[in-house]
């Protein structure tokens, strides 16, 4: 049986979300193809390397961060069903001027420090019911997911109770359903930057020592959240970016990283926690709020919780 394209899939499987939601997915997929073609030539193009600018957090902005941010932000704002768009790279959300029913958040190019070493990076997005402020709980997410710029270009998104993956086929110029109804895997893989061992809180050190003593885990860490979460989704295990002595709130952003990817992992049958609670229950105090995030297979997150101590 012919595998459906992303547009066909959305029409039949998200009909309850209607034509308006399909508009967002079309904007997303066409922008992903453009960004991917730019990334594929990184090293040969003027947009490589640092822009010399700093983002709202004082972090170095890659030229391709700015490029991707501009494209995705404008693509979403052009959808008449979209009311507002927030981006990790913008100080404030942008209003579309449309009387739209959705607000969108995105991290246009997560992991961009990996661009120049040709490692997987991604775009993370979440679609919320329209709100005057973007500061909504992740539990209100309508849909969330990511674009993975890897050996193949993929788009994975979740709605309540369902996660599906699409692979771009350059032959057809379209995204084709390649990973239907994804249920999180069950392999014993842990994913954390162990270079920070001396910064980790004691309970995290105790947890890591304990699983290493079992002698049945592999360690995998790309250093690009989309890459690490995608592997965790397909193969299972646990991804950890806890708070530590250098990152007292954690490093990853609730609105742009932890909530969208936590929502997706939970829809796949996994779990996510921040400070011992569900990150989807946290009302962001500010758009760039950072949180510790631990996500993955239910039993692996349960095992972590056995060592958890509030900091």
Q: Where on the chain is the footprint of ligand P6P (CB under 6 A)?
A: 110-111, 113, 193, 223-225, 228, 251
Which token pair is 288? 């760039």
User: In the complex, what is the shortest distance from the CB of residue 196 to ligand P6P, in angstroms, rounded to a whole number?
Assistant: 7
Q: What is the DSSP string of 124-162?
A: EEEEEE--SSS---GGG-SEEEEEEESSSEEEEEEETTE
* For ligand P6P, the closer CB: 17 or 301: 301
Nearer to ligand P6P, 101 or 119 (CB): 119
Burial of 104 (0-12, 13-18, 19+ CB in 10 A): buried
**Rounded to an integer, what distance in angstroms lies between the CA atom of residue 115 and that of residue 50?**
11
204 vs 228, beta carbon nearer ligand P6P: 228
Q: How far is the CB of 176 from ligand P6P (least distance, A)?
A: 26
Match 């995705």 to its residue by tokens: 72
Measured CA to CA, the distance from residue 301 to residue 171 in angstroms comes to 40
Nearest approach in angstroms of CB 117 to ligand P6P is 12
The nearer residue to ligand P6P, 130 or 220, going by C-beta atoms, is 220
What are the structure tokens assigned to 146, written together?
Answer: 């990511």
Nearest approach in angstroms of CB 10 to ligand P6P is 27
Task: Choose between 227 and 236: whose C-beta lies nearer to ligand P6P.
Answer: 227
Q: From the centroid of its chain, how far is CA 48?
A: 23
Shortest CB 193 distance to ligand P6P, Å? 4
């Amino acid at each position: 049986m012919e595998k459906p394209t992303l547009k066909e899939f959305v029409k039949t499987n998200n009909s309850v979300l209607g034509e308006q939601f399909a508009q967002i997915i079309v904007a997303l997929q066409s922008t992903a193809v453009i960004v991917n073609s730019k990334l594929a030539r990184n090293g040969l193009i003027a947009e490589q390397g640092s822009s010399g600018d700093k983002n709202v957090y004082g972090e170095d902005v890659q030229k391709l961060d700015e490029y991707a941010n501009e494209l995705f932000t404008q693509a979403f704002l052009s959808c008449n069903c979209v009311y507002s768009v927030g981006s990790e790279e913008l100080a404030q959300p942008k209003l579309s001027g449309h009387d739209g029913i959705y607000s969108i958040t995105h991290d246009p190019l997560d992991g961009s420090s990996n661009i120049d070493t040709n490692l997987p990076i991604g775009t993370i997005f979440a679609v919320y019911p329209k709100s005057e402020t973007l500061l909504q709980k992740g539990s209100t997410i309508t849909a969330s997911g990511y674009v993975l710029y890897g050996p193949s270009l993929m788009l994975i998104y979740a709605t309540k109770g369902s996660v599906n993956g699409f692979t771009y086929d350059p032959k057809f110029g379209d995204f084709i359903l390649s990973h239907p109804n994804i249920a999180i895997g069950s392999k014993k893989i842990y994913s954390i930057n162990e270079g920070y061992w001396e910064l980790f809180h004691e309970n995290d050190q105790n947890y890591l020592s304990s699983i290493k003593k079992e002698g049945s885990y592999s360690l995998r860490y790309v250093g690009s959240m989309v890459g690490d979460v995608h592997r965790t989704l397909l193969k299972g295990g646990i991804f950890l970016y806890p708070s530590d002595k250098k990152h007292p709130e954690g490093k990853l952003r609730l609105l742009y990283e932890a909530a969208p990817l936590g929502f997706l992992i939970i829809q796949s049958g996994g779990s996510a926690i921040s400070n011992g609670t569900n990150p989807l229950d946290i009302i962001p105090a500010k758009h760039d709020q950072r949180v510790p995030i631990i996500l993955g297979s239910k039993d692996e997150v349960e095992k972590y919780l056995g060592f958890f101590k509030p900091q």
